[in-house]
Amino acid sequence: MADLVSGGAIGIPFTILYEVIKEVVVKTSMFQPLLDELNSKIDALKPLIDEIDKYNKVLDRREEELRDFKMQMEKGPELIRKCSNLSRWKSYKKYKYSNQLLELQNSLQNLLFILSVQQARDVKANLVATKNVENVAQRVDANVVELKEKGINLMKETLDEVKNLGTIVQQIDMKGEVKDQIDCEVPEPPLVTVGLNVPLRELKMKLLRDPKVSMLVLTAPGGCGKTTLATKFCQDEEVKDKFKNNIFFVTVSKKSNFNLIVQGLHQRKSADVPTFQDEATAVKWLHKFLKEEGQNHVLLVLDDVWSESKYLLEKFDEVKMPNFKILVTSRLQFPEYGSIYHLKTLNERDAMTLFRHSASLEDGQWNNLARKIAAPCKGYPLAIKVVGKSLRGKPFEFWRKRALEWSKGDSIIDSETEVLLRLQSSLDALDEKEAIIKECFLDLGSFPQDQRIPAAALIDMWAELYEELDKDFLAIANLYELTTRSLGDLVVTRKETVEDDDYYCEHFVTQHDLLRQLAVYQAKLDPSKKRVIIGNFGDNLPKCLTEQKHQPIKPRLLSISSDGTFSKNLHNIQLADVEVLVLNFNTKNYALPEFVENMYNLKVLIVTNHGFVPAELSNFHLLDSLPNLKRIRLERVSIPSITKHRIQLKSLKKISLFMCSIGQAFSNCSFQISDALPNLEEMNVDYCNDLVELPDDLCSLVRLKKISITNCHKLSALPREIGKLDKLEVLRLRSCTDLAKLPCSVKNLVSLNFLDISDCFSIVELPEDFGELSSLTKINMRQCSRLQELPLSVWDLEQLEEVVCDEETEGLWEPFLPRLCNVVVRAVKEEFSLDWLQKLQS
């Protein structure tokens, strides 16, 4: 094994690697932070490698493990040369190379640690040997004493050589193992911090003045300044005055140990640090420690907590005492353990202050240009600092070049490795069981930036793409998972206390632009090309999608954002394999691309107009040839324009129309709805303000199970024969404020189990035979303020279990409750929230 660490095995590859790094590090900017770190590691290793022949062993490492170090170093020069030659046009390879550089860096770090500890162990062995010499010297003659003295002198020389390893020597126990230690000192915040005064004040309000808050989770995506805010909090004079000398700051690794953290608290109070046999003993000691502190308050900061260390919060949550406060910083929210504080990105003013400082700009220097460059960072502190530093000291022309690149749509993720790695680590933390969360995150990149994403659209996509998300509430649960991990933000425009009726039309997802860029970047890296996301290219598509010489790709999801023009030469995409097509545009007239008719396996079509008025949609007849199309969602399009040609969608199960122009669609339709949609099971119409009445032909859709007509304020009547829909299970008429009554035929809806007439202000009475709804289990009738009484037939609603109402309509049910003994009446208050508007703007 000694040969493995001799100059011929590790020494020669190390020398080659050393020379290559020294040559390349000054020439390459794309991987500068990683190469700088490698340069630092290689400088630290060189003295040890130079003297490596002095060692006769390297700890008790296996020969195979040492060969791994050798192989890593042999691969290093080629990898570094690839990085130095990487064109910015191939920046999609950057993440791959960055990970390989990190592997090399970790390997060198491990080797450095091993050699350092071995050197320290050799020192210890020499100390033991010296003591043995002293014992022997007492019984030998002067010659042996002289030898002993020489040995001691030699030992002193050796100690001088490794004086920088003194701390490692102290950590080595009798078996030569390294003891872990926890540093609980509060680090100093950066010299310049911006935009944290308001968050600091709000943190103090929650953690210092609210006795109910014992643990607070400060959460945000990586690089938003959570640690900076936490250190600033600890250094605040009011905080220091309250907690005195009892502020403990622990940076939590992914494999942190509860016992070690408690030991860290103890070592600040006493030099005699106990060793806990188990976590239960550590908990008892912590209880005792807090009791002994009495009126003295204790603050513990757990910084950068990941899911692997979640159990730490559970352990500390067991120790709830009035004088004990815990501040947690994490990308995850951990709602089960405490209050949550979301750290927002910087506003424009603070962002510019931070950018100017990072770029070392003088006041007023290059104002307009600086603003153009900083704007794409969207207030994200890490991106602002990285971009600013990359331009520091550069000439004006370089700044203009960067601004031009930004204007052409270049991504910060593509150009700044440090930002990529920080954001990417949140995805890397997901294990195999959480793979579906990552897939859903990547799907969010299918929608344009600066736009809220309807949860209803994601429900349609995921129901067909992933078997485990085939129910609406499962998709919403996944969106909450993304939110708790700071990978997105699920917001609800109106929130009620009761949310168990599968109504998600007012749920939306917002996402910071850099997170969307990360999703798009990852889609490009995916070797299987499960999703292809095409931006505003028009006919100017990437060559990999248009040239036949490239390897054909078979995406399951295809997203196109365009101005209404398309390339006709998507040679490299196997269109027949596409299952989900997402089309985004912002024009008055839009035609479905002709290649749609070749998507034989298409299951979901989502068409979204991001303009302010409904757009004319043409070429809708192309869908007639698609045998597997199950779901269609149209947003802000004119429905009359697509009903001019006969069409039959035999496989369509669900159609959703959001903010569409629908008023004249059915009256001028050239075909029967029942012929066009023979197997339709679900119809959703939301915010279609010109809808006055539904056509009678709707009642011929005998397979319908769910009708949801919401926020259509001009709808005044339902079809008289709606009772023919004997398979209908859900009828939602929420916020149809002009709807005056329900047809008498509703009594024939024998399968109806849920009726929602909430916010239907104009309904004065329910049909006399309302009680014949034999399957009705739940009714929502909040804010039906003109409804003065219920029909006596309500007595016959034997299956009814729940009534959702308000305080006014609650009294209408009191006379019936003695007989309807299984019915629960819930009077809920509705809360309107405009938070999503602020989040969308930010």
Q: What is the CATH number of the domain that holds 215?
A: 3.40.50.300
Q: How many domains does the chain have?
A: 4
CA atoms within 13 A on the CB side of 174: 0
Q: Is 717 inside any structural domain?
A: no
Residue with tokens 């050589």: 161
With bands split at pLDDT 50, 70 and 90, how would you rate the model's confidence at 45?
Answer: low
Looking at residues 649-656, what average pLDDT do you find?
A: 95
pLDDT given at position 241: 92
> Residue 381 belongs to a domain with what CATH number?
1.10.8
pLDDT given at position 832: 52
Contacts 24+ apart (CB under 8 A), 812-819: 812/787, 812/788, 816/790, 819/795
Per-residue pLDDT reduced to its tens digit, 691-704: 998 888 889 999 99
Distance CA(645)–CA(635), nearest Å, equals: 20
Q: Is 539 inside any structural domain?
A: no
Q: Is 746 inside any structural domain?
A: no
Q: Report CA dihedral (411, 415, 417, 423) to the nearest 10 degrees.
A: -10
Q: Is 143 exposed, middle or buried (0-12, 13-18, 19+ CB in 10 A)?
A: exposed
Q: Is 502 inside any structural domain?
A: yes
For 483-507, give the secondary structure using H, E and C. Answer: HHCCCCEEEECEEECCCCCCCCCCE
Residue with tokens 């969207």: 378
Residue 141: is its pLDDT beyond 70? Answer: no
Per DSSP, the residues of 708-729 read: EEES-TT--B--TTGGG-TT--
**Of 467, 486, 514, which residue is a domain's last?**
514
**Of 312, 342, 372, which residue is a domain's last?**
342
Between 509 and 547, the higher pLDDT residue = 509
With bands split at pLDDT 50, 70 and 90, how would you rate the model's confidence at 122?
Answer: low
Q: Are residues 381 and 455 in the same domain?
A: no
Q: Are residues 283 and 321 in the same domain?
A: yes
Looking at residues 120-147, what average pLDDT do you find?
A: 48
Minimum mean pLDDT range among 301-315, 656-670, 752-766:
656-670
Distance CA(410)–CA(618), nearest Å, equals: 32
Q: Are residues 411 and 486 in the same domain?
A: no
Q: Is 677 inside any structural domain?
A: no
Q: Is 52 inside any structural domain?
A: yes
Pairing of strands 247-251, 730-732: unpaired
Q: Is 182 inside any structural domain?
A: no
* Gap between the terminal Cα atoms of the chain: 59
Q: Are residues 284 and 238 in the same domain?
A: yes
Q: Report CA dihedral (519, 523, 524, 530) to the nearest 10 degrees.
A: -170
Between 451 and 729, the higher pLDDT residue = 729
Residue 398: is its pLDDT beyond 70? Answer: yes
Residue with tokens 């008289």: 720
With bands split at pLDDT 50, 70 and 90, how would you rate the model's confidence at 111?
Answer: low
Q: Are residues 276 and 374 in the same domain?
A: no
Return the SS3 of 626.
Answer: coil
Looking at residues 95-109, what average pLDDT do you find?
A: 64
pLDDT given at position 693: 87
What is the chain's alpha carbon radius of gyration, rounded to the nearest angstrom? 34
Q: Are residues 23 and 73 in the same domain?
A: yes
CB count within 10 Å of CB 242 equals 17
Q: Is 449 inside any structural domain?
A: yes
In this prediction, what percent of the chain has a pLDDT beyond 90? Answer: 40
Distance CA(565)–CA(571), nearest Å, equals: 17
- The pTM is what? 0.77
Q: Are residues 34 and 140 in the same domain?
A: yes
Q: Are residues 30 and 149 in the same domain?
A: yes
Nearest to 710 by CA among 505, 485, 465: 505
With bands split at pLDDT 50, 70 and 90, how would you rate the model's confidence at 133?
Answer: very low
Instruction: Name the phi and psi angles at 264, rounded to 5.
Output: -60, -35
Nearest to 487 by CA among 429, 532, 418, 448: 429
pLDDT given at position 113: 59
Which strands, in side-by-side order, build the sheet including 637-638? 589-591, 615-618, 637-638
Per-residue pLDDT reduced to its tens digit, 771-821: 999 999 999 999 898 998 899 999 999 899 999 998 888 889 988 888 888
Q: Are residues 443 and 386 in the same domain?
A: no
β-pair partners for 804: 780, 826
**Of 391, 419, 447, which residue is a domain's last?**
419
Q: Are residues 358 and 338 in the same domain?
A: no
pLDDT given at position 679: 95
With bands split at pLDDT 50, 70 and 90, how would you rate the model's confidence at 156?
Answer: very low
Return the SS3 of 664.
Answer: coil
With bands split at pLDDT 50, 70 and 90, how would you rate the model's confidence at 35?
Answer: low
Q: Are residues 112 and 216 in the same domain?
A: no
Give the residue numbers spanning the domain of 368. 348-419
Amino acid 25 reads V
Looking at residues 66-74, what average pLDDT do you find?
A: 63
Q: Is 702 exposed, middle or buried (0-12, 13-18, 19+ CB in 10 A)?
A: middle
Output the CA–CA distances (angstroms, integers) from residue 232 to 189, 196, 203, 357, 785, in the order listed.
6, 9, 11, 18, 52
Average pLDDT, the chain: 80
Instruction: Name the phi and psi angles at 732, rounded to 5.
Output: -115, 120
Distance CA(542)–CA(531), nearest Å, equals: 15
Per-residue pLDDT reduced to its tens digit, 211-270: 889 999 999 999 999 999 999 999 999 999 999 888 999 988 766 788 888 888 877 766
Q: Are residues 358 and 335 in the same domain?
A: no
Residue 162: is its pLDDT beyond 50? Answer: no
